Amino acid sequence: MIEKKIIIAIDGFSSTGKSTIAKHLAAELNYLYVDTGAMYRAITYYAMQQKYVTKEFLDKNALIEDLPKITLDFVYNSELQFSEMCLNGVNVEREIRTIQVSKLVSKVSAISEVRRKLVEQQQAMGTKKGLVMDGRDIGTVVFPGAELKLFMTASPEKRAARRYKELLDKGHKVSYDEVLENVQQRDLIDSTREDSPLVKAKDAVEFDNSDMGLREQFERVYNLALLKISEA
C-alpha cells in the first residue's frame, strides 16, 4: 500500500524550537520543510534596504507597491542539508537572522498585503502534500485542513536563552536582555495584530517545551505524525 502524504502545520511563539522539530520531522518522513518566518524576514530585509521601515517609521504603501517586484525562493544547500532563503535571486540566509531584522519583522508581517502574497505562495507549496510548515498562522489560515497541527509554547525566558545562544554561536553580536525584549515584543505584536494573529487552532495539539528535552519532544511529535499518516 502506498502511504498517503499529509500536511503538518507547526505554529507557536518565536524561538519555541518549531524549526528544529519541523526540520527533523521533515527529514524523517522525507517531506519538504518550509520555514515561513524566513519569508516574512526576507520581505522585512527588503523593506530595510529600501528604507521603508525603521524603528520609528513604516512606509506601508511603498512596500505594498513593490510587492510584485519581490521574489522569494528556497534554494537547497546540499552541504548544509537545508534550504536557504533567496530574495530576488540573492542568498540572504544570514542577513535575515540578525536581531535588526527580528526587531522589525512583526511590524512588516502585520501588513495584510504582505500576508496575502506570502500565504498564496505557501499554499502553492502544499498542493502535493508531504509538507512540514512552521510559522504563526499555518494551522489557522494557510492550511486550516492540515491533518496534524502542533502549537508550541515555552516561557519567554527559556526562549530568549535559546535564541541568545543560537545567535552567539552564529557570531552575531547581541545581549540576552535585547533578545528577551525582542521575544516579548514579538509575542505581543504577533498575537494582537488584526490580520491572522497568532492563536492556537482549535484542533492543534499544544506542547509546552519549557522543560521538555528535544528527544522526548520529537518522539511524541513523530508518533503523532505516524498516527495521522496511517489514518489519512
Closer residue to ligand DC (CB): 37 or 126: 37
Residue 66 beta carbon to ligand DC: minimum distance, rounded to whole angstroms: 18
Name the one range near ligand DC by CB under 6 A: 32-40, 63-71, 164-172, 201-209: 32-40
Indicate whether 163 belongs to the interface with ligand DC (CB under 6 A): no
Closer residue to ligand DC (CB): 6 or 135: 135
Cell numbers that stand for 202 in this block: 482549535
- What is the distance between the alpha carbons of residues 230 and 186, in angstroms, rounded to a whole number? 37
Indicate whether 135 belongs to the interface with ligand DC (CB under 6 A): yes
What are the start-end ranges of the H helices in 110-175?
112-124, 156-169
Helix (H, G, I), strand (E, B) or coil at 35: strand
Interface of this chain with ligand DC, residues 91 to 110, rule: CB under 6 A = 105-106, 109
C-beta of residue 34 within 8 angstroms of C-beta of residue 18? no
Indicate whether 14 belongs to the interface with ligand DC (CB under 6 A): yes
Q: Which listed residue (41, 117, 158, 162) binds ligand DC by CB under 6 A? A: 41
Cβ neighbors of 111 (< 8 A, separation 6 or more) are 60, 63, 64, 195
Closer residue to ligand DC (CB): 73 or 229: 73
Classify the C-alpha dihedral 171-173-174-176 as positive or negative: positive
Q: Which listed residue (31, 40, 46, 151) binds ligand DC by CB under 6 A? A: 40
